């Protein structure tokens, strides 16, 4: 198995300490293009596409393996092993944040820090837990996606992005969603939005930074507070950025927050 080809791994940067960036649902490594230049001088930058996304090897997509987020976490560990990385700082956006958490729980010695942008361990409201959606809403959204994926992307991508004053951002997310194989995207969506990793958070030993955006319909403020409380060694930063993709809409704030945390 060629892990580098499978995940379309790209490496840059002049430093030795690795920063590994994981993208969210319907996206690819290109979503980090405004953030990574700031870290080229002092870090080794590792970008990759989840199998099924971007320029990854679509033939490697296995619905059994990727029926839970653990399949993606296994890939992350294989990427780290293949590149012989140590003391990894994993930067995960959206669902990749939970993949990073699962990876660090499984093999904590490989990770020095996690940076979690818009993380959510569970998207569905449950008793006293606010995930942002009722179960019926999630099931309705997934059914909508099954019925007409393109129309779903046109409808939901701008809502996920937020920042209606910057319509080009929503259009970019629509294009990214539509460039993803619809069958893979639908399966990935089921896995993402029906996952529940709340019980995993207290198991994490790795130090973590949580970035919480305002007006994020995917990971509302209550979720960020929950993640912070559940991860014992965590720092929570409330960004001024709005929406769910600050790596695109507010990259300078993301960079500044990361630099402060990493003490660059």
pTM above 0.85, yes or no: yes
The pLDDT profile of the chain, 264 residues, written as one tens digit per residue, is 799 999 999 999 999 999 999 999 988 999 999 999 999 999 999 999 999 999 999 999 999 999 999 999 999 999 999 999 999 999 999 999 999 999 999 999 999 999 999 999 999 999 999 999 999 999 999 999 998 988 888 988 888 888 888 888 888 887 887 688 889 999 999 999 999 999 999 999 999 999 999 999 999 999 999 999 999 999 999 999 999 999 999 999 999 999 999 995
How far is residue 30 from each of residues 1, 67, 71, 238, 251, measured CA to CA in Å?
24, 25, 22, 24, 13
pLDDT of the residue at 218: 94
Position 247 scores a pLDDT of: 96
Q: What is the pLDDT of residue 264?
A: 55
Rounded Cα distance, 119 and 94, in Å: 5
Segment holding 212, helix H or strand E: strand 207-214
Distance CA 36, CA 90 (A): 13
Q: From CA 189, how far away is CA 192, in angstroms rounded? A: 5
Show which residues are catalytic: 94, 216, 244
pLDDT at 165: 83
Q: Where are the chain's structural domains?
A: 3-262
Give the count of beta carbons closer than 10 Å to the beta carbon of residue 67: 12
Q: Which strands, in side-by-side order, build the sheet including 18-22?
A: 10-12, 44-47, 18-22, 88-93, 111-117, 207-214, 234-242
Can you tell me the distance from the alpha carbon of 129 to that of 81, in angstroms, rounded to the nearest whole number?
Answer: 36
pLDDT at residue 172, as a whole number: 82
Give the pLDDT score at 47: 98
196 forms bridges with which residues in the sheet?
122
State in words which class domain 3-262 has: alpha beta
CA distances from 224 to 22, 80, 122, 149, 166 (A): 18, 27, 11, 29, 25
């Amino acid at each position: 198995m060629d892990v580098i080809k499978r995940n379309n791994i790209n490496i840059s940067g002049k430093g030795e300490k690795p920063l590994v960036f994981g993208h969210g649902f319907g996206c690819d490594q290109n979503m980090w293009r405004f953030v990574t230049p700031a870290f080229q001088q002092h870090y080794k930058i590792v970008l990759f596409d989840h199998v099924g996304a971007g320029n990854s090897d679509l033939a490697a997509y296995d619905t059994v393996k990727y029926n839970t987020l653990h399949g993606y976490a296994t890939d992350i560990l294989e990427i780290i092993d293949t590149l012989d990385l140590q003391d990894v700082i994993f930067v995960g956006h959206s669902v990749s944040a939970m993949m990073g958490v699962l990876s660090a729980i499984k093999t904590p010695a490989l990770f020095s820090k996690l940076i979690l942008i818009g993380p959510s361990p569970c998207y569905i409201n449950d008793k006293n837990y606010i995930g942002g959606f009722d179960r019926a809403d999630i099931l309705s959204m997934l059914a909508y996606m099954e019925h007409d994926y393109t129309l779903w992307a046109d409808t939901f991508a701008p809502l996920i992005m937020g920042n209606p004053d910057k319509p080009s951002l929503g259009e970019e997310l629509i294009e990214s969603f539509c460039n993803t194989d619809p069958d893979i995207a639908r399966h990935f969506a089921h896995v993402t939005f029906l996952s529940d990793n709340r019980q995993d958070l207290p198991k994490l030993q790795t130090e973590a930074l949580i970035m919480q955006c305002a007006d994020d319909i995917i990971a509302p403020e209550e979720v960020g507070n929950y993640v912070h409380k559940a991860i014992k060694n965590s720092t929570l930063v409330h960004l001024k950025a709005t929406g769910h993709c600050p790596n695109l809409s507010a990259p300078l704030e993301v960079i500044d927050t990361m630099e402060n945390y990493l003490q660059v």
